[in-house]
Chain A
Amino acid sequence: MQEQRGTYNVKSGLAEMLKGGVIMDVTTPEQAAIAEKAGAVAVMALERVPADIRKAGGVARMADPRIVQSIQEAVSIPVMAKVRIGHFVEAQVLEALEVDYIDESEVLTPADDQYHIDKWQFNIPFVCGARDLGEALRRIAEGAAMIRTKGEPGTGNVVEAVRHLRQVNSEIRHVVATPEAELADLAKELRAPLELVKQVKELGRLPVVNFSAGGVATAADAALMMQLGADGIFVGSGVFKSQNPEKTARAIVRATLHYNAPKVIAEVSKDVGEAMPGLEMATLAPKDRMQDRGI
């Protein structure tokens, strides 16, 4: 047999290797080096972190390829980058740059209000956001090899991350408890392919790795999401919008590993300085809610 690249096994396999780890948003090679040194398993190369995207307003797009490349040169861990929902040419560009993972992300302004990218056309794996099980399975059906619950990016408020992970988990429990004969109906209700719903019933979990994203700002936040069942953590603005990024990054990595050891979490949370300033959900206008994009 010839060697085969870009298989689903190889794509979802990289996500499996990231489990139990923290993926950090970075905007410069210096930040990428800080993230790697703190123990991040991967970095997300961006032009602006979500909190700044919120502040700037207007249309947010894929980062300048030069930024992506300078970050690739700065670290040895995997480098991810974001494309707008449905913008398959931005994805082609990132594939040409050989990023390790593409995030088709609601943090950027959607380019297509109807369709996501047909991710099966790519050899590079994709991660997509989801607020519930149906959304997660639709993205997997389109070829996503990794899921992250959406939360509400750039807020430093973990409440939506918690809501979405609990929602996915409670729907998985419902699928597991549903008799085989009623699965087709349930699949229709979830607007998800029956085959994937069957797989969820068999496995008792999503068929791919599921990280938590959108609002993690402290070590305790990260451990909270891990205890709720996340496979790992994305930290967007939480590290580099905090008072002391090095310490915050180190604390979040260690709390993600020892999420069940409150004494360790207490130890690593000491003297890390102030977390990023947070936003209360009620202050967000509907147009500012990123999680409602691309569902």
Chain B
Amino acid sequence: MRIGVLAIQGDVREHILHTEKAGAEALPVRMARDLDNTQGLIIPGGESTTIGMLMAEYGIIDAIKERAADGRYPIYGTCAGMILLADKVVGLSPARLALMDMAVSRNAYGRQIASFEVNLSIDVLGAEPFPAVFIRAPKIVQWGSSITPLAWYEKELVMAESGPYLISSFHPEMSPDVRIHQYFLEKVRQAAALVDAS
């Protein structure tokens, strides 16, 4: 199984290492053609304005949307990646994929001084709490019925999925725990099985 990690900017290396540890091959995606032969995509943390702008300029937004059109191309977005998957963004709104029915607010927890880490309980991962790192994190301020909540922190939705798409406002790649990456790989496996069956 081959997973692309969008390598425009941000903590690409950490996502590649986590994906490999979780048991798949990981390839950096800098150009649209790098998406070929990938069965899923991870969009890392970074600056969403920068990543979105450069994705649009180099034709990567269109290429991903085309690939995602049949609903069988799983994408996992962390932090900036989550912003790029959202339909709506409050305030300055970067170019993006807009594949999920939700509105997000950038840097909604505040500036860097308000960045934090905390252990979250996430049911789909089992009983063991997950060490979550929030860095200038966005908030999901509104979402539609297609969104399934997966984790909460202080009444804020911080992790969710919708069809083949997975998002978290925190960074699982900043801690040694690879369970969320394993969870995403399972989604990719299921999507691949659907493709094979059709």
Q: Which residues of A contact B (CB under 8 A)?
A: 1-7, 9-10, 13-14, 16-21, 36, 39-42, 72, 76-78, 95, 98-101, 123-125, 253-254, 257-258
Contact A5/B9 with A39-B49, A41-B46 known, Cβ cut-off 8 Å: no
Closest to B7 in A: A20
Is A1 in contact with B106, judged by CB distance below 8 angstroms?
no
Contact A77/B116 with A19-B10, A19-B12 known, Cβ cut-off 8 Å: no
Is A257 in contact with B117, judged by CB distance below 8 angstroms?
no
Bound form: Cα–Cα A40–B49 in Å: 9
Contact A9/B53 with A17-B135, A257-B30 known, Cβ cut-off 8 Å: no
Bound form: Cα–Cα A36–B169 in Å: 22
Quote the shortest CB–CB distance from B71 to chain A (angstroms): 30
B115 in contact (CB, < 8 A): yes
A18-B10, A41-B47 given. 13 additional CB < 8 A pairs?
Answer: A3-B117, A13-B11, A13-B174, A17-B47, A20-B12, A39-B49, A72-B111, A76-B107, A98-B112, A254-B57, A257-B9, A257-B30, A258-B30
Chain A residues, Cβ within 8 Å of B175: 9
Bound form: Cα–Cα A230–B77 in Å: 25
Can you identify 16 A-B contacts, CB atoms within 8 angstroms?
A1-B129, A3-B117, A9-B133, A10-B133, A13-B11, A13-B133, A16-B174, A17-B80, A21-B10, A40-B50, A77-B47, A95-B113, A99-B111, A99-B112, A101-B112, A124-B113
B14 in contact (CB, < 8 A): yes
Interface centre among B13, B106, B113, B114 (most CB of A within 10 A): B113
Is B9 in contact with A3, judged by CB distance below 8 angstroms?
no
Chain B residues, Cβ within 8 Å of A42: 47
B74 in contact (CB, < 8 A): no
The 0/1 profile, CB within 8 Å of A marked 1, for residues 1-31 of chain B is: 0000001111111100000000000000010
Chain B residues, Cβ within 8 Å of A3: 116-118
Is A21 in contact with B9, judged by CB distance below 8 angstroms?
yes
Is A98 in contact with B133, judged by CB distance below 8 angstroms?
no
Quote the shortest CB–CB distance from B8 to chain A (angstroms): 6
Closest to A1 in B: B119
Closest to A36 in B: B49
Cβ < 8 Å to A, chain B residues 161-175: 171, 174-175
Cβ < 8 Å to A, chain B residues 66-124: 79-80, 91-92, 106-107, 110-119
